[in-house]
Structure 1
């Protein structure tokens, strides 16, 4: 490495996962062209990496907040481009970060552009999912199998139930850093093809658990979920008292895949996948957007979730380039249905050029991975830069929505590193 070249991460090399860092390089030759790289390994041992070419200014400095990438994993001024543009070293892999206790460590480095690409400087960015003072507590009570994240302090905290389709603590822990008490529960604790029915009562137990918690100050519970989990969130809003704010992300307006039961009777039949409608692409993945049968077809009316019954508020979030299914169409159908019933208890946002997998910001964008139901690699959609920008915007919007509709004294509590 060159002793003159310095790579700095500002304001600190240690930060929360959803916080930006400013990447700066000094000590280069005037107008020197270099490669900036980022590299990380996920929980499954898959290596993710990115690379972009930059030209130093007349003083031998590069600032990713100011300077454009000339080529590589992205082009243009993208201050966090090295993070969201990281790609796996094998096809169809999604970055796995399910355990909140382990930080996401990214190695940034600067390399000579010519010859053997000698490394000139490096720095590690430790991106924490759980801030100092936030507690992580496994919950195994009744039918609840999850993890409770509690901000530091005595409370009272606004309560959120985070329903992940499969085990993942990332979103829940990051919300807890913002002052919310969050219970994360996976919709599927077993392989989906082993699950013949789901019971809304099990998720109601999670809502009641939060409402009865001594540190919860909100009068009701917020629910957040994406994809299959989002229809469970809608069903909770429609059938269960105490759910006052629901964030539905890239979901369906109907119950998907398996029958839903409540109080020992089936309340919703499922819409199912039609595997004959999968479209193969050159990479070996499939586009499955048209694979779900139409919820509005007469034979599927029993699968539509009666959200017009809900007493709480909705935030509907869809993407125009969702290749998993037509989340934009489902959202528009729900908005029209609520309007027909004289309801105005919703807001909606649709992101152009974003894909299905909207997550907290600054993780690697995932173009394709194995689908939990289809069990084949599928295309998720989205243009990487636009998708990354959508995640930044949405993450702020989610917090604002919950702060507005889960009001209590402790909403401004923040976990600090």
Structure 2
């Protein structure tokens, strides 16, 4: 009864909008329905409320009036204290319901029938810092997404509007039971993620790009899907050896990292794959072709090249003016690096000996990659492998209107972001490329193909009773 009298008070209050918003939010967070006289208040159903980031969410808004125009608004506060948001305009059906999985957005940060548009179309909120990137740092804590419903079609000043309904759902990178172990063995620095259970598990050595650091979220997600995964730090991270040691001619740091992973008691020995993005693409190929004792079961290389952009630990195009002259700039003033190694026939940078590849190789690249000529490199790799007679090992996937940063599914698209060039201690804006909708589709599709490729080449033959539990 007290909620009924509170609502009566709010409806008669002069500060109607503010009090109503506070009341609605408290009621919704408590899981109660609100009765406005003869009508039940709108209600958001989001399933699952707690799930992995690569899972689709079913969102439904009930108890609207028939043919009501509403705005759905989602937001996340990043670990860098930046607000990210998306919104979409919908019209309820004859029953007063909006089903995001089936209905079309009529406007907003995306349009059309997009079940996960309220996640992948997120952008930095107006007035915030620009050219930032939404990346999970502490993967033990989920992203909390707040989803609100507003009456009418609005596109700004959401904080000044009354909320009809609100729900908070969580997006995890670690499934329940996943184990996170910090690794510091010899010179090797990283984080090992183990799936629930006794093992042994097929394994992935996960390597990111030239920005450096220790990036854990893809490895955590792989472990949540049944693969032990070592997120390897090899550049610009505390206690990692200097570049001249990491990128020595024998690649001994990477050989040690492989041994740490392959010799772990919960790892299925000699059932290891490499996954690399950008510079990690090149490192994965080098490990598979230049270290005699390493024979990965398969390679997944994303947005990179067979051109080796470093020598003795230094980025060649940073110290050599012949390469810096090839750097272009977008209309927004962002750097475009894709022309640096082109044309391949004239480029003097060292390159991977593609004829040595003996493992199944999947290459994933965006045709609008403005950071590196990844599509051109994929074509060149295919040509070289055909000449060497090992092209039967190659699977190449091209995605139109897709940029460089091909992330796990439903990650927002970043066309331009800040990037620190550590060798000259300078932060610049980089044009990565891509268009939001096609790029997001590519992320969702490529993740499915990555998991299928790993499943094909890494899974052990377990008895049926055990296999059904994996």
Query: Quick check: 1:157–1:181 contact (8 Å CA) kept in 2?
Result: yes
CA distance in 2, matches of 1:414, 1:45: 40
Do structure 1's residue 308 and structure 2's residue 345 form an aligned pair?
A: no
Partner-residue secondary structure (3-state), 2:325: helix
Cα offset, 1:244, TM superposition: 2.3
Cα offset, 1:83, TM superposition: 0.4
Do structure 1's residue 297 and structure 2's residue 346 form an aligned pair?
A: yes
CA distance in 2, matches of 1:309, 1:376: 36
Q: 1:368 to 1:114 in 2, by over 3 A?
A: closer
Query: Quick check: 2:243–2:312 contact (8 Å CA) kept in 1?
Result: no
Larger radius of gyration: 2
What is the TM-score normalised by the length of structure 2?
0.81
Do structure 1's residue 367 and structure 2's residue 424 form an aligned pair?
A: no
Q: Which residue in 2 is equivalent to 1:376? A: 428
Q: RCO (CA 8 Å, sep 6+): is it higher in 1 or 2?
A: 1
CA distance in 2, matches of 1:315, 1:364: 24
Equivalent runs, 1:14-413 vs 2, <5 Å? 14-88=50-124, 89-113=128-152, 117-165=161-209, 166=212, 167-190=214-237, 195-196=243-244, 198-199=247-248, 200-240=251-291, 241-259=294-312, 271-272=316-317, 274-292=323-341, 294-297=343-346, 299-300=348-349, 303-343=350-390, 344-373=392-421, 375-409=427-461
CA distance in 1, matches of 2:356, 2:67: 63
Query: Quick check: 1:358–1:391 contact (8 Å CA) kept in 2?
Result: yes
Partner-residue secondary structure (3-state), 2:310: coil
Deviates more, 1:290-299 or 1:69-78: 290-299
- 1:359-407 deviation line (CA, Å, top 9, x unaligned): 1101221121123437311111111111111111111111111121123
Partner-residue secondary structure (3-state), 2:280: helix
Query: Quick check: 1:248–1:315 contact (8 Å CA) kept in 2?
Result: yes
CA distance in 1, matches of 2:227, 2:153: 49
Unaligned runs of 5+ in 2: 1-20, 25-33, 35-40, 155-159
Query: Quick check: 2:78–2:134 contact (8 Å CA) kept in 1?
Result: yes
Partner-residue secondary structure (3-state), 1:203: helix
Cα offset, 1:277, TM superposition: 3.1
CA distance in 2, matches of 1:146, 1:307: 28
Q: 1:62 to 1:290 in 2, by over 3 A?
A: same
Partner-residue secondary structure (3-state), 1:376: strand
- RMSD between superposed Cα atoms in Å: 2.3
Cα offset, 1:195, TM superposition: 3.8
CA distance in 2, matches of 1:170, 1:414: 24
- 1:263-306 deviation line (CA, Å, top 9, x unaligned): xxxxxx96525333333334342333223454432633xx1101
CA distance in 2, matches of 1:14, 1:147: 24
Cα offset, 1:114, TM superposition: 6.2
Larger strand fraction of residues: 1
Query: Quick check: 2:274–2:300 contact (8 Å CA) kept in 1?
Result: yes
CA distance in 1, matches of 2:190, 2:342: 31
Partner-residue secondary structure (3-state), 1:45: coil
CA distance in 1, matches of 2:262, 2:373: 34
What is the number of equivalent residue pairs in this alignment?
403
CA distance in 2, matches of 1:244, 1:270: 29
CA distance in 1, matches of 2:285, 2:332: 34
Q: Which residue in 2 is equivalent to 1:7? A: 44
Unaligned runs of 5+ in 1: 261-268
CA distance in 1, matches of 2:130, 2:45: 32
CA distance in 1, matches of 2:259, 2:77: 38
Partner-residue secondary structure (3-state), 1:392: helix
Partner-residue secondary structure (3-state), 2:164: strand
Q: Which residue in 2 is equivalent to 1:263? A: none
Partner-residue secondary structure (3-state), 1:90: coil
What is the TM-score normalised by the length of structure 1?
0.91
Cα offset, 1:135, TM superposition: 0.2
Query: Quick check: 2:71–2:153 contact (8 Å CA) kept in 1?
Result: no
